[in-house]
Amino acid sequence: MTSTLNPASEHPAEIPEYPMARAAGCPFDPPPTLRAKQQEGPLAKVRLWDGSTPWLVTRYAEQRALLADPRVSADVTRPGYPSSAPVNDSSKVSFILMDDPEHARLRRMVTAPFAIRRVAALRPAVQKIADDLIDDMLAGPKPVDLVEAFALPVPSLVICELLGVPYADHDFFQDNSKTVIKRDATPEQRSAALGRLAGYLNDLLGEKLTNPGDDMLSGLTERIRTGELSRQEAARMGVLLLIAGHETTANMIALGTLALLEHPDQLALLRDSGDERLVASAVEELLRYLHITHNGRRRVALEDIEIAGRLIRAGDGLILANDIGNRDPEAFPDPDRLDIQRDARRHMAFGFGVHQCLGQSLARLELQIVYSTLYRRIPTLRSAADLDQIPFKHDGSVYGVYELPVTW
Ligand code: HEM
């Protein structure tokens, strides 16, 4: 059976390295090699930093099927998992890299604050955060770095408020988060950064155990008290929520703004419409078009799986490259066109299956508020640097820009 399903089409010398490099001058498009692989077929082999050759799944339908398949595991410590760096004790950053029932047990403990209705109640607070930061920008000197002045503080302030983390410590946790998601950080650097963050969260949990407030970390201390959760598990969960809560949204705000500035017709539509439905649709389209978590969803097969005429064997690594999946012409006609009026809601920028983004309602709320406020309040906003001068995060597991100088 194997020889017909897996013909020897991939000569070892022809297996490309993953991640693949983006083309110069096309900062919003996935790498051309990835596009070529998608055109060849839904599955191919790629080579990772450690010489392993997991499957690369390039097309939307197969990615969705595999992400929803209980025969695939997200457990980073399983042999065959296509890790982006050496795995050690600190690699298992809470439930995002675990399987059910462990994953479900931990995720359940933090789902309530991210439910759509609870998140909707945050709208006035998030709007005020965005408006205050824009007031500061307008009152300050020009040009200004949009990342530092706006894109990073909005989600950082929001997640700090939700978790009960003092925003005054933002330099500390932002610096360490940056190291954790940097592709070229050494394992020692990444472990040390995770260790510092876990230590910080552990201390905060200690304070909240004696003096609880009305926040998520205090909620977790209740579970520590009842024995449902260990303090180490709670600290690691805090690290995951803190990193996931600000890094991703911050990059979407800055890169989304740059993409709109580079597509002035789309920006004008969004700015001048005043229609909430168009704002919501623009958020979905920008999530699809930019797909900032560009390192692929990583999994390992628990059993043999036949898909698209190929045989994935138990123990084979899988990389579901959602960035190219979101540009699959079978799923989204004319996929390389940014069109904020299209229905992009089926995108996979938040993943799919049991690990689908826990914070997606919050991310949507923040992005809708930001995109509907920033360009309305600063209608003449423009980039203060040429595109080729802007430093892109090619070296990060979350894509975006390090800086975006803007003026008006
Ligand atoms: C635009 C912003 C965001 C994007 C693009 C994004 C993307 C993703 C993706 C692709 C996954 C799936 C990972 C996988 O399957 O391997 C994920 C999971 C997750 N995200 Fe987000 N995310 C965003 C914002 C947030 C926010 C604001 C939070 C809030 C804390 C958050 C918390 C999480 C958590 C906890 C998980 C793990 C879920 C699980 O394993 O069950 N994310 N996110």
Cis peptide, bond prior to residue 124, ω within 30 of zero: no
Both tokens of 364, joined, read 């949507």
Least confident segment among 66-70, 113-117, 329-333: 113-117
Q: Band of the pLDDT at 1, cuts 50, 70, 90?
A: very low
Q: What is the mean pLDDT of residues 250-260?
A: 98
Whether the pLDDT of residue 3 is over 50: the answer is no
355 alpha carbon – ligand 1 mean position (Å): 8
Q: What's the pLDDT score for residue 303? A: 98
Cβ neighbour number for residue 389 with a 10 Å cutoff: 10
Q: Band of the pLDDT at 204, cuts 50, 70, 90?
A: very high
Residues paired with 300 in a beta bridge: 73, 317
Q: What is the mean pLDDT of residues 370-379?
A: 96
Please name which of 112, 111, 84, 115 lies closest in space to residue 97, comparing C-alpha atoms.
84
8 Å CB contact between 38 and 324: yes
Whether the pLDDT of residue 2 is over 50: the answer is no
8 Å CB contact between 315 and 300: yes
Q: What's the pLDDT score for residue 34? A: 96
Three-state DSSP class for 212? coil
CA angle 282, 243, 288 (to 5 degrees): 25
> Is the distance from the beta carbon of residue 361 to the nearest atom of ligand 1 less than 6 Å?
no
| Helices marked H in 112-230 | 116-120, 123-139, 146, 153-163, 170-180, 187-210, 216-226
> Is the distance from the beta carbon of residue 181 to the nearest atom of ligand 1 less than 6 Å?
no
359 alpha carbon – ligand 1 mean position (Å): 6
Please name which of 251, 245, 221 lies closest in space to residue 173, comparing C-alpha atoms.
245
> Is the distance from the beta carbon of residue 240 to the nearest atom of ligand 1 less than 6 Å?
yes
Q: What's the pLDDT score for residue 5? A: 65
> Is the distance from the beta carbon of residue 359 to the nearest atom of ligand 1 less than 6 Å?
yes
Burial letters for 338-350: b for 16+ Cβ neighbours within 10 Å, e otherwise? Answer: bbbebebeebbbb
360 alpha carbon – ligand 1 mean position (Å): 7
Q: What distance in Å separates the CA atoms of residue 356 and residue 352, rounded to the nearest whole number?
A: 5
Q: What's the pLDDT score for residue 397? A: 87
> Is the distance from the beta carbon of residue 95 to the nearest atom of ligand 1 less than 6 Å?
yes
Residue-wise pLDDT for 165-176, tens only, equals 999 999 999 999
Rounded to 5 degrees, φ, ψ at 305 are -135, 125
Residue whose entry in the numeric block shows the structure tokens 């690369």: 56
Q: What distance in Å separates the CA atoms of residue 36 and residue 258, rounded to the nearest whole number?
A: 26
- 396 or 35: which leads in pLDDT: 35
CA distances from 382 to 82, 264, 267, 269, 279 (A): 40, 10, 11, 16, 20
Residues paired with 144 in a beta bridge: 406
Residues sharing a CB contact under 8 Å with residue 230, sequence separation 6 or more, in sequence order: 224
Q: What percent of the chain has pLDDT over 90?
A: 88
Residue-wise pLDDT for 303-361, tens only, equals 999 999 999 999 999 999 999 999 999 999 999 999 999 999 999 999 999 999 999 99
244 alpha carbon – ligand 1 mean position (Å): 6
| Helices marked H in 211-298 | 216-226, 231-262, 264-273, 276-290
Q: What is the mean pLDDT of residues 282-301?
A: 97
Whether the pLDDT of residue 6 is over 70: the answer is no
Q: What is the mean pLDDT of residues 138-143?
A: 97
Least confident segment among 86-100, 192-206, 222-236, 370-384: 86-100
Q: What distance in Å separates the CA atoms of residue 67 and residue 365, rounded to the nearest whole number?
A: 25
Q: What's the pLDDT score for residue 10? A: 62
Taking every pair of Cα atoms in the chain, the longest distance, rounded to a whole number of angstroms, is 69
Whether the pLDDT of residue 250 is over 80: the answer is yes
Specify the pTM. 0.95
Least confident segment among 52-61, 78-87, 256-265: 78-87
> Is the distance from the beta carbon of residue 350 to the nearest atom of ligand 1 less than 6 Å?
yes
Q: What is the mean pLDDT of residues 131-143?
A: 98
167 DSSP assignment: G
Rounded to a whole number of angstroms, the CA Rg of the chain reads 21
Whether the pLDDT of residue 211 is over 50: the answer is yes
Q: What is the mean pLDDT of residues 205-222?
A: 95
Q: Whole-angstrom distance between the N-terminal and C-terminal Cα of the chain?
A: 63
57 alpha carbon – ligand 1 mean position (Å): 20
> What mean pLDDT, rounded, does the chain reach?
94
Q: What is the mean pLDDT of residues 126-153?
A: 97
Q: What's the pLDDT score for residue 273? A: 87
Residue-wise pLDDT for 28-57, tens only, equals 999 999 999 999 999 999 999 999 999 999
Q: What is the mean pLDDT of residues 100-124?
A: 95
Q: How many CA atoms lie within 13 A of 60 on its CB side?
A: 16
